[in-house]
Structure formats: structure tokens, C-alpha cells
Chain A
Amino acid sequence: AQSVAQPEDQVNVAEGNPLTVKCTYSVSGNPYLFWYVQYPNRGLQFLLKYITGDNLVKGSYGFEAEFNKSQTSFHLKKPSALVSDSALYFCAVRTPNYGGATNKLIFGTGTLLAVQP
């Protein structure tokens, strides 16, 4: 079964420092991977995705993520954190669409990013 793991409940980083939010996945076949951000009492906003191609993908607000097939990871990164980046971040994998099954997004449990000024 497809799954996503976010091993850190919370990540603390000082403003201006680089940040990494970890994600590992388990999926049969080629993965479609996504990162979303959620601000308090709001819906999720798309940040970036990996479908195929370059392992380093760039997304919104200066975020990027590196797809590592051998380590089955898709860590979210940003070179210099901002206080406004503080939010809840979700990694997600889309289940394959074959055999008549409808693809679905399976989410990790989320990682709370706290950026201190």
C-alpha cells in the first residue's frame, strides 16, 4: 500500500538559516509526489510536485525539494527561512491510476515548521 512518512512533528529553525522538512514514501511504481502548506484554519496550498524528470524541483515561495529514488525520500528545502514560512507542511503521494482504480492523494501526518526571528 502507498504511504508517506514525515518523521518530524515539528522543525525549529532561525530566520535566515536553511530549512529541511523530511518526507519518505512507499509506493509501487513511479511516484507522483507533492508538498502542500497549510496556514491556520485554511485549506492546503500547493507548493511543488515531482512527476518525472529532474530530481530537484523548484516550487512556490523559494521552496525546493529533492527526489531521491534510492532513499525513497522527497525532502522539502529552502536556503533561507522566513518567519512567514511558519506553517504546517504536508508531503503527499498520489496512488497509481490503473486497474480501474481512481488515484488518490495520501498525506503524511504533517510537520509544523516554526521559524524564530
Chain B
Amino acid sequence: SQTIHQWPATLVQPVGSPLSLECTVEGTSNPNLYWYRQAAGRGLQLLFYSVGIGQISSEVPQNLSASRPQDRQFILSSKKLLLSDSGFYLCAWRGDRDHGYTFGSGTRLTVV
């Protein structure tokens, strides 16, 4: 069966420090992968999506970047974190059309 792993679960980082969040998918190949951010515990904003290795599409200009070095690995990064980068980050992959997306358990990032 397909599973999605996301880590770490929580992270506290100082302003100006780098960031790397990792997401991996098992049990599928060539998945579409997505990074969402949920700010203030509510709305979900699509940040990046990827349809294949090395293919990244950015939805909004920001302080973050994404990479897909392997088929089932999706990484969210920043060179220098801002306070406004705090939030709950969710990785997702698209299965068949009947279930939309499957989400990881999320990473709570607090920038201090």
C-alpha cells in the first residue's frame, strides 16, 4: 500500500537559519507531489508541486524553495528563515482521482 512520510514532526528554528523538510512516498512510482502551508491553523496554501524528478512548479513567490532529487522524495528548503515562515507544512501526493490527495502528518515549524 502507498504511504507518505514527512519529518520532522516539529521544528523550532531561529530567524536566519536554513531549513530542510523532507517528504517521501512509498508504494507508488512517479507520483505528483505537493507542498502546502497552513498558517494560523486554518487555510491551506499550495506552495510547490512536482510532476517528476527535477520538475518543480512554484505557486507563490516566497522565501522557500523545493527540490525533487529522487522520484519519491520531495524536499522543502530555505536558506534563511523569516518569522513569517512559521506554520504547519503538509506534503501530499496525488493518487488516483477517486481519493484526491494523500497527506503526510505535517511539520509544525516555529521560527523564533
Contacts and interface: CB of A to CB of B under 8 A. Distances in A.
Interface residues of B, number: 27
Given A42-B106, A43-B106, A102-B57, A109 B42 contact: yes
A102 B32 contact: yes
A105 B101 contact: yes
Identify the 4 closest CB pairs spanning chains A and B, nearest first.
A43-B103, A107-B44, A34-B100, A44-B103
A41 B88 contact: yes
A104 B34 contact: yes
A47 to B, nearest CB: 10
A94 interface: yes
Contacts of A31: none
A109 B45 CA distance: 9
Given A43-B90, A107-B44, A32 B105 contact: no
Interface of B: 6, 32, 34, 36, 41-44, 46, 49, 51, 57, 88, 90, 92, 94, 97-106, 108
Contacts of B46: 104-106
A105 B45 CA distance: 10
A96 B54 CA distance: 23
A95 B100 CA distance: 11
Given A44-B44, A94-B100, A110-B42, 14 more contacts: A32-B100, A34-B100, A41-B108, A42-B106, A43-B104, A44-B101, A44-B103, A46-B100, A49-B98, A103-B94, A107-B36, A107-B43, A107-B44, A109-B43
B105 A90 contact: no
A35 to B, nearest CB: 9
Nearest to A51: B97
Nearest to A43: B103
A65 interface: no
Contacts of B36: 107
B38 to A, nearest CB: 8
